[in-house]
């Protein structure tokens, strides 16, 4: 598929991203809504020039009046600017407008199924209260640092060691969450046009960070059943990507976990190809009832090379295990790589607040007591959502993941974007399936997180069912989901 990140999007690409549209008197508003969604979740970048109204009318087989009205609606909502001579360009409305939200922000909605952010783990308030007397200690120093305090890095290293991966404090850099860790990794290790392998679907902000760092992305499929491991290994062998980004435990969004024997194959293929594996373990602590635990992925890495060390860079975070409001994450890698991250970091930020690190150290040390509570909480949420979806949307294929934070639901139609628009109109924030792919595929899938309060999981499911009923009544033609093409 043609890339949409250039300065112009063709009518054909725009229509394929927008998906199937109904054919009635309000067709213009449906088209405008769909384009708005693509703009808001970043699939059509700001500044992109849209096709001319005439070109879009010809290509879509719709009347010029419909397209003119759709573009007018986009201008009215502040998503498009049209200027004589330079056509119509994508823009973003002013912040604070009622109908505008940055992608993934659910605050303005009645129910938020856009973010997979769990509530604070039970027991966190007590740890904060207990730590408050030591907070003034942070005032003695500048209060932030590039590497992370020795006491927090030691606590993180001890936890890796307890989970079967000997680690020293000089193998850890503390970051402001896992997203920061991914972005720092991408910007430090990648050079423009490097090939990066990601899963499809994957966590979208990770591939966005790789793209920003200049990467050319290729993908390997993952389903709720797991990885096509031969495809993954052969792609590493054939394409020799500079970096491969994987979420091997309770993968976001499918919930799948990679089998231990496959981890060995992937690590060996990456080592032979000179590919650095960036292993995101943000969700690794979120087992609900997975019957096995293989410990940290990097246990499988052997030996060392001068540039990539053991070849595995592990990303971790307290966001899912404890609370995302802390903004504490880390990278575990060979000490020489950690020094490169420290050296590169000031171009992006000047360090992690030490007040948060003081708190984080106590939380990391308390994880063995906190995690069972998190698991029990997520079990209740998962089961409530599964029951509600099975009851109200029996035609959907709803998996029962054994951990993680979301369900990767298979819809009976290519209707994920349409469902997102219709749900938003009802006050339910969603992220459409194609946002989780690098090429706009996956229209038949929807990620439904089970992190919201249980009453919201039930209310949101009723909104989904209501939107689905409206959609089914519109007789959306089912389109075959195209097999994922490799994009190099
Ligand atoms: C797989 C994965 N990686 C990274 C992140 C970002 O986490 P953080 O809040 O620590 O930046 C998330 C959050 O949803 C995630 O699911």
| CA–centroid distance, residue 250 to ligand 1 (Å) | 12
| CA–centroid distance, residue 179 to ligand 1 (Å) | 6
| CA–centroid distance, residue 394 to ligand 1 (Å) | 31
State percent of the chain over pLDDT 70.
Answer: 90
Q: Give the pLDDT confidence score for residue 5 in this predicted structure.
A: 46
Same domain, 217 and 73: no
Task: Check pLDDT > 90 for residue 371.
Answer: yes
**Is 83 within a domain?**
yes
Once rounded to an integer, what is the mean pLDDT over residues 431-438?
94
pLDDT tier for residue 2 given thresholds of 50, 70 and 90: very low
Please give the Cα distance from 146 to 152 (Å, whole number).
13
**Is 105 within a domain?**
no
Q: Which ligand 1 atom lies nearest to the CA of residue 318?
A: 10
Same domain, 353 and 375: no
**Is 18 within a domain?**
yes
- The residues pairing with 198 across neighbouring beta strands, listed in sequence order, are 219, 245
Once rounded to an integer, what is the mean pLDDT over residues 110-139?
93
pLDDT tier for residue 4 given thresholds of 50, 70 and 90: very low
Q: Give the pLDDT confidence score for residue 351 in this predicted structure.
A: 97
Q: Which ligand 1 atom lies nearest to the CA of residue 329?
A: 10
Q: Among 119, 183, 203, which is best to mutate for testing ligand 1, by the most ligand atoms less than 8 A from CB? A: 203
Q: Which residue bears the tokens 């039970």?
A: 122
Q: Which of 101, 98, 4, 21 is nearest to 67 (CA)?
A: 21
Same domain, 389 and 355: no
Q: Where in the sequence is the domain holding 33, given as residue range(s)? A: 11-90
Could you tell me the CATH number of the domain that includes residue 77?
1.10.10.10
Query: Total domain count for the chain?
Result: 3
280: three-class secondary structure by DSSP:
strand
**Is 254 within a domain?**
yes
Once rounded to an integer, what is the mean pLDDT over residues 20-40?
81
Q: Which of 470, 415, 467, 465 is nearest to 443 (CA)?
A: 415
Helix ranges (DSSP H) in 335-353: 335-344
Residue 326 near residue 318, CB atoms below 8 Å: yes
Once rounded to an integer, what is the mean pLDDT over residues 475-483?
39
| CA–centroid distance, residue 329 to ligand 1 (Å) | 9
Q: Among 105, 179, 349, which is best to mutate for testing ligand 1, by the most ligand atoms less than 8 A from CB? A: 179
| CA–centroid distance, residue 58 to ligand 1 (Å) | 42
Same domain, 228 and 345: yes
Q: Among 121, 319, 324, 403, which is best to mutate for testing ligand 1, by the most ligand atoms less than 8 A from CB? A: 319
Q: Which ligand 1 atom lies nearest to the CA of residue 317?
A: 10
- What are the DSSP E strand ranges found in 103-194? 111-112, 144-145, 172-175
Q: Which of 310, 319, 230 is nearest to 267 (CA)?
A: 310
Residues with CB under 6 A from ligand 1: 116, 177-179, 203, 247, 252, 280, 282-283, 317, 319, 324, 329
Q: Give the pLDDT confidence score for residue 486 in this predicted structure.
A: 33
**Is 151 within a domain?**
yes
Q: Which ligand 1 atom lies nearest to the CA of residue 117?
A: 14
Same domain, 313 and 200: yes
| CA–centroid distance, residue 282 to ligand 1 (Å) | 6
| Torsion-angle region of 427 (φ positive above 0: left; ψ -120 to 50: alpha; else: beta) | left
**Is 3 within a domain?**
no
Same domain, 136 and 172: yes
Residue 273 near residue 419, CB atoms below 8 Å: no
Q: Which of 395, 396, 403 is nearest to 445 (CA)?
A: 396
Pair of tokens at residue 216 = 């050319």
Same domain, 352 and 383: no
For the segment 305-347, what is each residue's pLDDT rounded down to a tens digit? 555 556 999 999 999 999 999 999 999 999 999 999 999 999 9
Q: Among 283, 316, 318, 321, which is best to mutate for testing ligand 1, by the most ligand atoms less than 8 A from CB? A: 283
**Domain limit, last residue, from 335, 368, 401:** 368
Once rounded to an integer, what is the mean pLDDT over residues 21-39?
81
| CA–centroid distance, residue 84 to ligand 1 (Å) | 42
Please give the Cα distance from 477 to 22 (Å, whole number).
9
Same domain, 319 and 449: no
Once rounded to an integer, what is the mean pLDDT over residues 482-488?
32
**Is 102 within a domain?**
no
| CA–centroid distance, residue 286 to ligand 1 (Å) | 13
| CA–centroid distance, residue 395 to ligand 1 (Å) | 31
| CA–centroid distance, residue 424 to ligand 1 (Å) | 23
Same domain, 315 and 353: yes
From 47-56, 178-187, 287-296, 316-325, the region with the lowest mean pLDDT: 47-56
- Name every residue whose Cβ is closer than 8 Å to that of residue 165 and which is 6 or more positions away in sequence: 295, 296, 298, 299
**Is 106 within a domain?**
no
For the segment 449-476, what is each residue's pLDDT rounded down to a tens digit? 999 999 999 999 999 999 999 988 875 4
Taking CA atoms only, the protein residue closest to ligand 1 atom 3 is 282
**Domain limit, last residue, from 336, 368, 400:** 368
**Domain limit, last residue, from 318, 333, 368:** 368
Same domain, 185 and 146: yes
Please give the Cα distance from 45 to 38 (Å, whole number).
9
From 82-86, 120-124, 235-239, 275-279, the region with the lowest mean pLDDT: 82-86
For the segment 233-278, what is each residue's pLDDT rounded down to a tens digit? 999 999 999 999 999 999 999 999 999 999 999 999 999 999 999 9
Please give the Cα distance from 173 to 153 (Å, whole number).
7
Taking CA atoms only, the protein residue closest to ligand 1 atom 14 is 116
Q: Give the pLDDT confidence score for residue 84 in this predicted structure.
A: 83
Residue 4 near residue 43, CB atoms below 8 Å: yes
Element (H, E) at 446: strand 445-449
Q: Give the pLDDT confidence score for residue 105 in this predicted structure.
A: 52
Q: Among 199, 249, 282, 328, which is best to mutate for testing ligand 1, by the most ligand atoms less than 8 A from CB? A: 282
Query: DSSP secondary-structure letter at 320?
Result: T
| CA–centroid distance, residue 367 to ligand 1 (Å) | 18
Q: Which of 417, 459, 401, 457 is nearest to 15 (CA)?
A: 417
Taking CA atoms only, the protein residue closest to ligand 1 atom 16 is 252
Same domain, 352 and 375: no
Could you tell me the CATH number of the domain that includes residue 424?
3.90.1150.10
Same domain, 312 and 354: yes
Helix ranges (DSSP H) in 132-228: 150-162, 178-189, 204-212
Within 13 A of 22's CA, how many CA atoms are on the CB side? 17
Q: Give the pLDDT confidence score for residue 307 in this predicted structure.
A: 52
Q: Give the pLDDT confidence score for residue 42 in this predicted structure.
A: 82
């Amino acid at each position: 598929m043609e890339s949409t990140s250039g300065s112009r999007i063709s009518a054909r690409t725009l229509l394929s991203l927008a998906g199937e549209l109904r054919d009635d008197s309000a067709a213009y508003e449906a088209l405008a809504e769909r384009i708005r969604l693509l703009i808001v979740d970043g699939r059509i970048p700001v500044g992109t020039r849209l096709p001319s109204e005439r070109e879009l009318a010809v290509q879509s087989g719709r009347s010029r009046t419909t397209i003119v009205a759709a573009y007018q609606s986009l201008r009215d909502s502040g998503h498009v600017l049209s200027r004589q001579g330079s056509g119509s360009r994508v823009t973003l409305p002013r912040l604070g407008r009622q109908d505008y939200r940055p992608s993934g922000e659910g605050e303005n909605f009645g129910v938020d199924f856009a973010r997979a952010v769990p509530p604070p783990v039970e027991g966190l308030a007590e740890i904060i209260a207990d730590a408050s007397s030591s907070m003034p200690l942070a005032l003695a120093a500048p209060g932030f640092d590039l590497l992370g305090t020795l006491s927090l890095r030691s606590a993180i290293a001890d936890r890796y060691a307890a989970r079967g991966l000997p680690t020293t404090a000089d193998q850890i850099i503390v970051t402001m969450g896992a997203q920061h860790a991914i972005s720092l990794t991408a910007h430090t290790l990648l050079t423009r046009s490097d090939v990066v392998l990601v899963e499809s679907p994957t966590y979208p902000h990770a591939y966005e960070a790789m793209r920003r760092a200049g990467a050319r992305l290729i993908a390997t499929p993952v389903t709720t059943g797991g990885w096509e491991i031969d495809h993954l290994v052969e792609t590493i062998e054939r394409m020799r990507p500079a970096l491969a980004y994987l979420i091997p435990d309770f993968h976001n969004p499918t919930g799948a976990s990679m089998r231990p024997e496959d981890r060995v194959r992937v690590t060996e293929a990456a080592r032979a190809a000179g590919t650095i594996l960036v292993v995101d373990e943000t969700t690794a602590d979120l087992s609900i009832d997975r019957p096995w635990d293989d410990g940290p992925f990097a246990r499988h890495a052997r030996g060392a090379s001068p540039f990539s060390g053991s070849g595995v860079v592990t990303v971790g975070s307290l966001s899912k295990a404890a609370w995302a409001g802390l903004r504490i994450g880390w990278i575990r890698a060979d000490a020489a790589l950690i020094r490169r991250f420290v050296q590169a970091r000031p171009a992006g930020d000047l360090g992690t607040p030490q007040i948060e690190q003081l708190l984080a150290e106590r939380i990391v040390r308390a994880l063995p007591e906190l995690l069972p509570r998190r698991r029990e909480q997520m079990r209740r949420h998962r089961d409530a959502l599964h029951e509600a979806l099975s009851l109200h949307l029996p035609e959907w294929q709803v998996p029962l993941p054994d951990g993680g934070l979301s369900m990767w639901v298979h819809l009976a139609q290519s209707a994920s974007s349409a469902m997102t628009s219709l749900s938003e109109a009802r006050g339910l924030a969603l992220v459409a399936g194609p946002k989780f792919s690098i090429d706009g595929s996956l229209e038949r899938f929807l990620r439904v997180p089970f992190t919201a309060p249980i009453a919201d999981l039930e209310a949101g499911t009723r909104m989904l069912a209501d939107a689905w009923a409206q959609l089914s009544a519109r007789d959306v033609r089912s389109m075959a989901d195209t097999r994922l093409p490799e994009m190099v």
